[in-house]
Chains A and B, each alone.
Chain A
Amino acid sequence: MSERKNITVHEPLFHLAKRAQIQPWKAWAIRLAAIVLGLVVCGIVAFILIERLHQNPDRIDDFYYSFIKGSFTSNRKIWKFLKNMAILQCISLAVTPAFRMRFWNIGAEGQTLMGVLGCIAVAFYLGGTVPDWLLLVLMFIAALVCGAVWGLIPALFKAKWNTNETLFTLMMNYVATFIVSYFLVIWVPSGSSTLGKLKYGKLPSFGHDYLVIILVVLLLTIFLYVYLKHSKQGYEISVVGESVRTAQYSGINVKNVIIRTMLVSGLLCGLAGYLIGAGLDQSVTTESVGGQGFTAIMVSWLANFNPLVMLITSALISMLNSGAAQISQDFNVSGALPDVIVGIILFFIIGSEFFINYQVIFRKADRTAAKEGVK
């Protein structure tokens, strides 16, 4: 039988085809399945890594409960979760316009850090000498300008000489980090390089400390959604992203679009920097952004560059992060565990996109057999 099959027409066991379209519910079901699968693998990895867990395996349900416990069991935790999510969402929004244009800006980390530095610099030098409202306005302007400049430099070179933007923006992150540590050495004469909380330039708050930030980011999300989906500029961004040639034929000035879009990206990163600097920290360190500039890239991509869907993905990543932090606290393991868990879940979500975009078609064994008259 098997020998006979070998002489039939060779058809691979399965082949791949690109899906024309997929119903949204199916796509989300695939993603959900991927997350569940990822969580299972996380459990296995945690089982190997965490001693307390393989000593008493029945604590595994504690392990999974931590993901909820980390974010939702007290008012304080809920606010903290919302704050983390808002900042992550803000940076993710910032990288989105450029990504829709297929401009791989991985410099959000540096652009945001420059925003923080800009607004803290203003607070440091002018704090106490100008009225509070003016100080806040100046800080705002400084943050936006710094973020925008950091985003514009790679864009100008991309537009003029087609310089590789991925590598350029990546390098700019580190330049920003060292500029921050340079200023820290200058500002802190003691040599400890840690700047204490500044007394001036705190964003006024009402209701709750974090409420202003959360509302600003929500408004921004809606604004960006409208800008990208329902404005002429947003349309131009999509066209350039789909095909530069098409854009040129239809009379879009591609260079201008690149520069303008990166300006928007940089400005939004600057705004995120302002929210971190003036709204939360009142200080700056080289770790002020703490890798969120990179996480934001994944958040934005997972949401398929849609600002509204991004609310879900940034919530998911924030939840995983604080859940895993809870685990490393409860089970007494290294504080790096959240990165491992987020990494694993991301692998699964990234992998699941394949099954959304492509379909696997298996060989129909019977038909081949029948054709050859074997059966």
Chain B
Amino acid sequence: MNVWLNFLIDSLAFGAVFMYGSTGEILTEKSGHLNLGIPGIMCMGGAGGCLVLNMIGKSSLPGFLIVILGILGALVMAMAMGLIYSFLTVTLRANQNVTGLALTTFGVGLMKVIMSKLDATVYLVGPKMLYRWPFADRTDALQCLGVMFFLAVIIAVMASVILYRTKMGLHLRAVGENPGTADAVGINVTRYKYMATCIGSGIAGLGGFYYIIDYMASQEAYLSLEAFGWLSIALVIFALWRPHMTILGSTVFGFLFSCSSYIANIEGITVTMAAKPLLKMLPYVVTIMVLIVTSIRNKRENQPPASLGLSYFREER
């Protein structure tokens, strides 16, 4: 297979990490909560999944069950993190930035402690081939497109449909734009905020799990996970708060991020060592550009949810 196609597939596979992260973050932000804890949540999702696999990785359970249980482990752990965040910010009305940052500190730290105790020969070596179904036997880049990649695409599309085509989505967006008005129409603001944050966190956690178990599939993968959590938050802006746009956006991000390693293989292009950091900087610079352009154009449908970052207290005017 030629270099370009490999490159594209690798970008897609890498992008799925952000696809999970930013789809989750979009759901949360649509309820008016800027969750800066996403890096910590993704890390803990990864840890949760690996923790389960560490217990069942060598058991005689059928393959699909191992896959599902691993995913559930990631989901549950990440949702627990989301629950901490939503309890503090929704019920106790704490400052969202501070809570999110504390959650990231906590999550990244706890993940490192947990992962250092797990045995990679159990949680990684066997299960990683299961997660690469149906392309596990391939030797080219296609082997990276496993179950969890397709799951990411499905979740992103579904999230868009729910947000923009159902009543529930309309209610959720109303909560994020103006919780006071939503409350007045009889929408249960607290419930929507909790649900969006917890489900969003669960989805984001899958991204961390996918990164460790499938995309990188290495013992040290967890050490580099945090940076991609922040990149997922960047991608939310890039995707203009639309989940289906994250499919495109994450591919572009994956492309930009992995071009530093691929571009050297393309004939006629020479890359110096010094250019690599600059190439890796591109996703962030592009995000800043998008942020600036959308704020200059000031189109209403491309703006962040109006009450993003603000706590809601019914009795406050």
Contacts and interface: CB of A to CB of B under 8 A. Distances in A.
B259 interface: no
B113 A337 contact: yes
Contacts of B94: 350-351, 353-354
B230 A170 contact: yes
A239 interface: no
- Chain B, interface SS category: helix
Contacts of B304: 164
Counting chain B CB atoms within 10 Å of each CB, the highest count among A171, A185, A338 belongs to A171
Given A185-B277, A347-B84, A171 B288 contact: yes
Nearest to B103: A343
A161 interface: yes
A168 B288 CA distance: 6
A294 B105 contact: yes
Contact of A178 (B103, B281, B316): B281
Contact of B233 (A49, A163, A170, A346): A170
Contacts of B102: 298, 343, 346-347, 350
Interface string B233-258: 11001000000000000000000000
Interface in B280-317: 280-281, 284-285, 287-288, 291-292, 295-296, 298, 304, 309, 313, 315-316
A157 B289 CA distance: 11
A98 interface: no
Nearest to A337: B113
Nearest to A181: B277
A343 B43 CA distance: 14
A91 to B, nearest CB: 13
Interface residues of A, number: 52
Contacts of A14: none
A298 B288 contact: no
Contacts of A1: none
Nearest to A338: B109
Nearest to A15: B315
A175 interface: yes
- Chain A, interface SS category: helix
B309 A104 contact: yes
Contacts of B105: 291, 294-295, 339, 342-343, 346
Nearest to B304: A164
Nearest to A286: B277
B88 interface: yes
Contact of B93 (A167, A171, A340, A354): A354
B116 interface: yes
Interface string A287-320: 0000100110110010000000000000000000
Given A163-B291, A170-B233, A294-B101, 6 more contacts: A49-B113, A106-B36, A106-B97, A171-B288, A342-B105, A354-B93
Interface of B: 34, 36, 84, 88, 92-95, 97-99, 101-114, 116-117, 227, 230-231, 233-234, 237, 273-274, 276-278, 280-281, 284-285, 287-288, 291-292, 295-296, 298, 304, 309, 313, 315-316
Interface of A: 16-18, 49, 104, 106, 157, 161-164, 166-168, 170-175, 178-179, 181-182, 185-186, 191, 291, 294-295, 297-298, 301, 333-340, 342-344, 346-347, 350-351, 353-354, 357-358
The 8 lowest CB-CB distance pairs between A and B, nearest first, are: A343-B106, A339-B109, A336-B112, A178-B281, A354-B92, A346-B102, A163-B295, A181-B277
